[in-house]
Structure formats: structure tokens, C-alpha cells
Amino acid sequence: MLRILSEESRLRIICFLQNKEHCACEIVDFLGLSHNLISFHLKALKEVKLINCRREGKYLFYSINRANFNDFLSRFKRIMGGCK
């Protein structure tokens, strides 16, 4: 999961989705990257279950998978707490 999140664009997507879900077109506009590149990053985030996706008509909406994201943060904090 750290490898997936080490990519700056993926971190920016996670930050953008923190407060509410957004359609893919809004993510494209926010990051200013091509639709194909955004789709590649969204796929990577979905594969590790950090984001959810739902279809509404022809649009795809993305949101943070809160349970998995919070679990990841807890494990990361626990590991980092052991570093002295």
C-alpha cells in the first residue's frame, strides 16, 4: 500500500476525496492530467481498496473507503511508533 501511495498523483487524489465523493471528470479537472492517466491511478487505488467506485448513469463517482483507509493509517502509526 505504501508503494501505491508513494505516487504524488495518487496522494493528491486521496486528498481531493477526503471530504466528499467526486466524479472522475472532477478529478481530471482538479489534477490537470489526462483521463487515461487518472484512470490508471484510480485503478491502482481501487485494487488496494483505498477508494470505492459507484456508477450513476454514464458517470463514475469515487470516494474514500473509510474503513480500509483508517485501518491502513492505524497500522502505519503503530509501525512508526515502534521506530525510535
User: Tell me, what's the pLDDT at 80?
Assistant: 84
The single-letter code of the amino acid at 60 is: L
* Number of domains, the chain: 1
Range of the domain at 24: 2-81
Closest CA to 53 of 74, 6, 44, 80: 44
Which domain CATH number covers 15? 1.10.10.10
Give pTM, 2 decimals: 0.88
CA atoms within 13 A on the CB side of 47: 11
- Mean pLDDT, each 10-residue run in order, the chain (84 residues): 91 96 96 96 97 96 96 88 69
Cα gap 41→75, rounded to integer Å: 23
